[in-house]
Homo-oligomer: A and B are copies of this chain.
Amino acid sequence: MTNPVLIEVLRGSIVESAHRGAVCVADADGGIVWETGDTERPVFPRSAVKAIQALPLVESGAADAYGFGQRELALACASHSGEAAHAELARAMLAKAGLDESALECGTQWPTNRAAADMLTRGGAKPCALHNNCSGKHSGFLCTCVHAGFDHHGYVGADHPEQEMVRSAMETVTEASHGPENRGTDGCSIPTYAVPLRNLARGFARMVSGNGLGPQRAKAAERLLKACMAEPFLVSGTGRADIALMEAAPGRIFAKTGAEGVYCAALPELGYGIALKCDDGATRASEAMIAAVLARMLAGDEGVAATLNTLANPVFSNWNGIDVASLRPTTAMHSEG
């Protein structure tokens, strides 16, 4: 099936571009609350599932052994902007396990935050793996390895015990198989597995409600999602969508972006999990889509819904500060489904 247009890009009053996609909202019992588009087609969730990938860090006891609080757990679930606070916290996490940035296998990335990149440039410094947007997740992986007594070298490999723990957590939570047949390699070199949006939405409903996870995993999931909601800056970075979404209703929205137009979210008060993908991989569209679907699900709270609807309808100005373009969710975002 062809997915519907969910977001239109307007220049003046004319539609200039359009973004198709699919969205699934599931409840704590696995029921489909609302969906649109093909939610059975496998998609790579990329970084949107970092909170699930961080379960072994908590479940193994490593997080407690190293005294990690909400800040460290939030960073372990983050796609951060490489700002100084992000890089320093990743360094501190590694130090707890007796490691430094040389152990990171995520690769070097310039901070995506412009001011942070400029600060390095002005100082004549170069970025390192701590600035990689995934350094918190990788620091969590490394701490888990050291605590468990694994040789951490090669921890990004699909057959390394660390990635086997991560894969096992992903399979249990999403109830989707993760194997060589649906595997790709992510930007930070760990495996990513293509699974249907329905499984991802149901997975986040399990994460936020604890349903079907068993008491230990349910507690770990709750700790991780609460950490992210408490520290949205550490999950994301200055000016980014994850922060705006989670701050729209503090403690009531978990939201996490992933590359190539994926977004996952969870609503504790409703026990809902949400997963979506913009077909063409555009971040601008996935951000507007998740804001629109969150506004729809929280429509009962007019203030929160209004904030979210503003995020779903961003306006873009040109180099002279003149508003020239905007995004608009289509009627498909409001369909019966």
Contact = CB atoms under 8 A, between A and B. Distances in A.
Contact of A11 (B11, B19, B192, B282): B192
Interface residues of A, number: 47
Residue of A43, A132, A319 with most chain B CB atoms under a 10 A cut-off: A319
A18 interface: yes
Contact of A14 (B121, B132, B182, B189): B182
Nearest to A280: B280
Interface string A305-337: 000000000000011111011000000000000
Contacts of A194: 11, 14, 16
A107 B12 CA distance: 19
Contacts of A109: 319
Contacts of A42: 14
A178 to B, nearest CB: 13
Contact of A319 (B12, B124, B188): B188
B185 A44 contact: no
A249 B134 CA distance: 41
Given A11-B44, A14-B42, A121-B118, A187 B319 contact: yes
Contacts of A58: none
Given A14-B44, A42-B14, A121-B122, A132 B182 contact: no
A24 to B, nearest CB: 18
Contacts of A182: 14
A189 B285 contact: no
Nearest to A156: B320
A161 interface: no
A184 interface: yes
A281 interface: yes
Contacts of A192: 11
A101 interface: no
B184 A12 contact: yes
A183 interface: yes
Contact of A280 (B12, B105, B189, B285): B285
Given A18-B280, A107-B319, A107-B320, 12 more contacts: A9-B260, A11-B184, A11-B192, A14-B194, A17-B261, A17-B279, A17-B281, A20-B280, A121-B121, A187-B319, A280-B282, A281-B282
